[in-house]
Amino acid sequence: MSEKEITAKKSILDSDNPVIQYVKRNGGIIIGFIILCVVIQFNTPQFMTWSNIISVLRQISSNLYLASAITMILIAGGIDLSAGAIVSLSSVIVATCMVNYGFSIPVAIVAAIAMGALIGFVNGTIIYKTGLPPFIVTYAMQCICQGAAYVWTGAQPIRLTDKSFIFLGTGFVANVIPMPLVYLFFILIFVWYILNRTKLGRHIYATGGNEKAAEFSGVNIKHVRWFVYTFSGIMAALAGIVLSARMYSGQPAVGANAAMDAIASVVLGGTSMGGGRGFIGGTIIGALLIGVMNNGLNLAGIDSYWQMVAKGIIILIAVYVDFVKQGKKLRK
């Protein structure tokens, strides 16, 4: 290949500008998202109101806690199906700690988060030590934790009345920004930072991209697994706490579909199920797409069972479009 050809191949799309990079990576889904917004706005003008936008953002925030952690897990070549059950268990723990055992709010929160971290850590350890597929290990953990949440509460919700705890889920900062969005902001910054600005981030990409090559490169695979699964457990626990506060109760079934929704957002955002490739920015738009679609269908008065059908169809289409795009890009 001559010098001329080499320089000719550089174009504006190879630019390092983060905005161009973002649009290039997520072009398809951004267009889909905009179309969806326009369609919804056309049908239900109350869509583009401040209060509705805030409510959508609040709804997707707990999904995004999980999705941001699962983004890292998928990049590292794993998967976490247990996150949803950890949400449920955390909701139950934080509620029983306060209601049944009379612990203070901070103690209850720390207990729930410690439980999430421990379960995640156990996930990571089992996957590393036994070499079993993460799908199976975390599915088993999902059964255990969801079961435990039901056993613990007899499948009954636990009412919460403490105003300052409720505030953590329903309150506003400066009267405009909902609390869950504030946590989300810090989580997204943290995940972005880990993935893009730390050695650990490179090691996560390397582990998922080619585990053997990563090992040859001196990457400690065990530490990567521990980190991503533990972080996922913590995020799930946080989601459980925030959801409990929003619903004024500890709910043993609250996280039932949470892991799948989070995985769907991550994959919609262009992160590869095969590992080694993915971006937190994509996950945000993926979660937005799902959130806005649900909201649009709600505003149009379509019942929630039809919403599930619609969600499935949209996920299939969006992931297929991305798959075709990636396929073209990688072909020689």
Partner 1 sequence: MSEKPILLEMNGIHKSFPGVHALDGVHLDLRAGEVHALLGENGAGKSTLIKVLGGIYEKDEGDIIINGEKVEIRNVKDAEKYGVSIIHQEIVLVPEMSISDNIFLGKEEGPAYSISRSAMEKKTQELLDSFNMGLKATQMVSSLNIAQQQMVEIIRSTFSQAKIIVMDEPTSSLSDKEVDALFDTIRNLKAQGIGIIYISHRMSELDQIADRVSVYRDGKYIATREVKNTSVDELIELMVGRAVGNYYNRTYNDCSETIMEVRNLSNKKVHNVSFDLKKGEILGFAGLVGAGRTETMRAIFGMDKKDSGEIIIEGKPVTINSSKDGLSAGIGLVPESRREEGIFPDQNIKFNETIKVLNEFIKNMRVDSKKETEIAEKYMKELSVRAPGLGTFVGNLSGGNQQKVVIASWLAAKPKILIMDEPTRGIDVGAKAEIYAIMNDLVKNGVSIIMVSSELPEVIGMSDRVVVMRSGEISAILDRTEADQVTIMKNAVNI
129 binds partner 1 (CB under 8 A): no
198 binds partner 1 (CB under 8 A): yes
215 binds partner 1 (CB under 8 A): yes
323 binds partner 1 (CB under 8 A): no
Residue 81 or 266: the one with the smaller Cβ distance to partner 1 is 266
Q: How far is CA 20 from CA 15, 41, 179, in A?
A: 7, 27, 31
332 binds partner 1 (CB under 8 A): yes
Pick the binder of partner 1 from 102, 154, 218, 301 (CB under 8 A): 218
β-bridge pairing 249-250 and 177-178 = unpaired
Considering the complex, what minimum distance in angstroms separates the CB of residue 183 from partner 1? 21
Considering the complex, what minimum distance in angstroms separates the CB of residue 228 from partner 1? 17
Pick the binder of partner 1 from 199, 301, 303, 327 (CB under 8 A): 199
Considering the complex, what minimum distance in angstroms separates the CB of residue 281 from partner 1? 17
Considering the complex, what minimum distance in angstroms separates the CB of residue 17 from partner 1? 13
- Of 66-74, 104-112, 214-222, 311-319, the segment contacting partner 1 by CB under 8 A is 214-222
- Of 119-127, 166-174, 183-191, 270-278, the segment contacting partner 1 by CB under 8 A is 270-278
Q: Which residues are near partner 1 by CB under 8 A?
A: 1, 6, 9-10, 14, 193, 196-199, 202, 205-206, 209-210, 212-220, 272, 276-277, 330, 332
